């Protein structure tokens, strides 16, 4: 999807350097992925003490494995 946005040039250059990405597009994509993962972890952390989540470590490992398998399959199918 193409989107036209104004991005702080200095901030983008810093992100490009830190991420060691080859393109601006890759840098923005990596930054968005990192942001989403961070927010998801924060939400899980908030929910963990509330009793809303009753998973143990084994459940989390199984869920991660299933997610990674599904993502690998989707990536493979898109090529």
pLDDT of residue 75: 77
Asked if 21 contacts 12 with a C-beta cutoff of 8 angstroms, the reply is no
- As a whole number of angstroms, the distance between CA 32 and CA 76 comes to 22
Give the pLDDT confidence of 47-75 residue by residue, as tens digits: 777 777 777 889 889 999 999 998 888 87
**What pTM did the predictor assign?**
0.61
pLDDT of residue 79: 59
Asked if 65 contacts 73 with a C-beta cutoff of 8 angstroms, the reply is no
Give the pLDDT confidence of 15-41 residue by residue, as tens digits: 999 999 999 999 999 999 999 999 998
């Amino acid at each position: 999807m193409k989107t036209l946005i104004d991005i702080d040039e200095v901030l983008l250059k810093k992100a490009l350097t830190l991420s060691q990405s080859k393109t601006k597009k890759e840098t923005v994509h990596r930054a968005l992925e990192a942001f989403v993962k961070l927010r998801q972890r924060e939400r899980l952390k908030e929910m963990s003490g509330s009793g809303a989540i009753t998973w143990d470590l084994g459940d989390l490992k199984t869920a991660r494995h299933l997610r990674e398998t599904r993502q690998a399959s989707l990536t493979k199918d898109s090529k």
